[in-house]
Every structure is written in C-alpha cells, then in structure tokens.
Amino acid sequence: MGFISQLSNQFLIAMPGLHDPNFSHSVTFLCDHNPEGAMGLLINRPTPMNLGDLTAQLGIELGEEDMAGVPVYHGGPVQPEQGFVLHTPQGEWDNTLELGSDLALTVSQDIIEAIAHGLGPEKFLITLGYAGWGAGQLEEEIAANSWLNGPADNRIIFDTPVEERWATAAALLGIELSLLSSDVGHA
C-alpha cells in the first residue's frame, strides 16, 4: 500500500468497531505523519493523575494551588513515563515543536514548572506517553476501517468536555458515531 496524504495536525477518530483497549472510542491528535510512520496524542483519556500528583513526582513546587486538579491524560501506550504538553504557542520552552500556527508540542520539564506556577501557555493538555505507528501501519489501519481522519479543532482539544470529544470530533465530519455499525467490511 502506498503512502496516503499527509495526516499531520489532523484527528484520528476511532471507529466503533475498534476494540483495542488502548484506542477504543479515542480521539488522537496526529502530531507527525510521514513515510516513516506517525506519532500522536490521545486527547480524551484522562488518567487518575492530576498536575498536583505529577509535580509532586517531579519534585516541582506547585505555585498555584488551583492548578493542582488539572488532569493528566494518557497520550498513548508508547513511553508512558514521558510527558508531552500539547499547547497554544505562547512562551519559549525547551524542546518545542511548532505544529502549525496555533499549536505546539513541548517535551521539556520547564513548561510543567511554568504551568504549575500559572505562567504556562493559555491553553494546554498534558499527557504521559504517545501513540506511534511504524511505516505504513496507520495507512493499513485506516484502510481496514479502524479510523476516521479529519481536521483537528483546538476547541475540541482544549474546551470540549472530555466525554464529548469522540462524538464531537466525528460530528466535524458530519458523522453520527452511534449510527455506525461496529461490524465493518468491504463490499
């Protein structure tokens, strides 16, 4: 199978028939997609951990107590000990990759310290781990009807309640997921 169009900065929306517990009912923001593979962050899987727990583990003082309850998300099954912050691009942080004009990805501790003190970017989503696909793997999964893909929307990433992100992302494509069968196939 050949390389399909560039999917970076798009949503991957799990089809109802995708039963892999890592990805069932998930929305993944694709940070990078190229002929060598793809990397993304799940945006609708909060963990029991919050920013207060994370800063305590990292030995960072929590300067703004109201930040303690900020959720930390499961970004995917790869490197679950590594933190990733998907955010609006205000500020200068170490190890930041710009993902277009309105999003950035930072993997350095300085952004966590800034967020803990109320000095971070305006909007952010903290994850542990990421989702990764090898060369051609994601294309095969899309061809097998495991995923829908479509435009990403920052309002879904940062503002939509977590339990509504899956259906809301699909609605951007005009799709009502509850009307789709979990049994898929090809005619």
Which residue, 161, 138, 169, 144, is CA-closest to 7? Answer: 138
In angstroms, rounded to a whole number, what is the distance separating the alpha carbons of residues 164 and 44?
A: 9
Which tokens sit at 172?
A: 């951007």
Containing 143, the helix (H) or strand (E) segment is helix 137-143
Q: How confident is the model over 131-173, as pLDDT tens digits?
A: 999 999 999 999 999 999 999 999 999 999 999 999 999 999 9
Beta strand pairing call for 124-134 and 71-74 = parallel
CATH placement of domain 10-179:
3.40.1740.10
SS3 content of the chain, % helix, strand, coil (to 5): 25, 30, 45
What parts of the chain have a pLDDT lower than 70?
1-5, 181-187
Confidence at residue 64, expressed as pLDDT on a 0 to 100 scale:
81
What crossing angle do the helices spanning 51-58 and 109-116 adopt, rounded to 10°? Answer: 120
Q: What is the pLDDT of residue 181?
A: 60
- Per residue, the 3-state secondary structure of 56-122, as one string, reads HHHCCCCCCHHHCCCEEEECCCEEEEEEEEEECCCCCCCCEEECCCCCEEECCHHHHHHHHCCCCCC
Contact 102, 57 (CB under 8 A): no
Q: Looking at residue 90, what is its pLDDT? A: 80
pLDDT at 183: 55
pLDDT at res. 185 = 52
Q: What is the DSSP letter of 130?
A: E
> Cα(146)–Cα(142) distance, rounded to whole angstroms?
6
In sign, the C-alpha dihedral spanning 16, 22, 26, 29 is negative
Distance of CA 139 to the CA centre of its chain: 18
**Domain spans of the chain, in order of start:** 10-179
170, 13 in Cβ contact below 8 A? yes
